[in-house]
Structure 1
Amino acid sequence: MSLFNDTERLQWVHAFIAGIPYARASNMQVTAASQNHATLAMPACGDWTGDAERQLTHPGVLTVLADTACGVAVGTALDVMEPFATLDLRMDYLRPAVADCELICHAECHRLSRSVAFVRGEIRQPGQDEVLATVQATFMRATASARREPAGAPKPGRASAEVKPQEASKPLPPTVTPALKPGVSPYVDYLNVHQSTGEGDEAPLFRLPFKPDLIGNPILPALHGGVLAGFAETAMVLHLVSTMGLSDGTPPRGVDFSIDYLRSARPVDTFAQATTIRQGSRVALVQVTVWQDDQTKPVATARGHFLLPRDQA
Structure 2
Amino acid sequence: MDIFSNNGRLQWVEAFIKGIPYARASGMYVTEVGEGRAGLGLPARDTWTGDTERGLIHPGVLSVLADTACGVAVGTALTEIEPFATLDLRMDYLRPALANQEIVCRAECHRVSRSVAFVRGELFQPGRAEPVAMVNATFMRATANTRRQERAGSAPTAAAPMSPDQAAASLSAPVSIEPSQVFQSTPADLPETLAIPPGRSPYVDFLNVHQQPQVDAGPVFRLPFKPDLIGNPILPALHGGVLAGFGETGMILHLVATNPGLQGVPRGVDFAIAYLRSAKPVDTFVQGTTVRQGNRVALVQVNIWQDDPQRPVAQARGHCLMPRGED
TM-score scaled by length of structure 1? 0.93
Change (3 A) 1:214 1:163: farther
Can you list the C-alpha shifts for 1:66-122, whole angstroms capped at 9, x where unaligned?
A: 000000000000010100000000000000100110000000000000100000000
- Within 2, Cα distance between the matches of 1:217 and 1:166? 14
Does 2:321 correspond to 1:307?
A: yes
1:64 aligns with 64
- Within 1, Cα distance between the matches of 2:71 and 2:149? 25
2:40 aligns with 40
Does 2:101 correspond to 1:101?
A: yes
1:232 to 233, 240, 247: 247
* Superposition misfits of 4+ residues, deviation over 6 angstroms: none
2:126 aligns with 126
- Within 2, Cα distance between the matches of 1:159 and 1:11? 17
- Within 2, Cα distance between the matches of 1:9 and 1:269? 35
Does 2:193 correspond to 1:177?
A: yes
User: Within 5 A, what are the aligned runs for 1:275-290?
Assistant: 275-290=289-304
Change (3 A) 1:304 1:6: same
Find the residue that maps to 2:7 and give its secondary structure. Answer: helix
**Runs of 5+ consecutive residues of structure 2 not aligned to the other structure:** 153-169
Q: Which amino acid aligns with 1:190?
A: F
**Percent same amino acid at aligned positions?**
65
Q: Which amino acid aligns with 1:221?
A: P
**Runs of 5+ consecutive residues of structure 1 not aligned to the other structure:** none
User: Within 5 A, what are the aligned runs for 1:190-269?
Assistant: 190-199=206-215, 201-246=216-261, 249-269=263-283
Q: Which amino acid aligns with 1:46?
A: D
Residues 205 and 273, structure 1, Cα contact 8 Å, conserved in 2: yes
- Within 1, Cα distance between the matches of 2:15 and 2:261? 44
- Within 1, Cα distance between the matches of 2:95 and 2:178? 37
- Within 2, Cα distance between the matches of 1:234 and 1:93? 15
2:155 aligns with none
Can you list the C-alpha shifts for 1:221-244, whole angstroms capped at 9, x where unaligned?
A: 000000000000000000000000
- Within 1, Cα distance between the matches of 2:150 and 2:11? 33
Per the TM alignment, residue 5 of structure 1 is displaced from its structure 2 partner at its CA by: 1.6
2:110 aligns with 110
Per the TM alignment, residue 147 of structure 1 is displaced from its structure 2 partner at its CA by: 0.8
- Within 1, Cα distance between the matches of 2:150 and 2:186? 17
Can you list the C-alpha shifts for 1:135-192, whole angstroms capped at 9, x where unaligned?
A: 000000000001111899xxxx995244547343354873300000000000000000
1:291 aligns with 305
Does 2:24 correspond to 1:24?
A: yes
**RMSD, matched Cα:** 2.2
Q: Which amino acid aligns with 1:215?
A: I
- Within 1, Cα distance between the matches of 2:238 and 2:182? 13
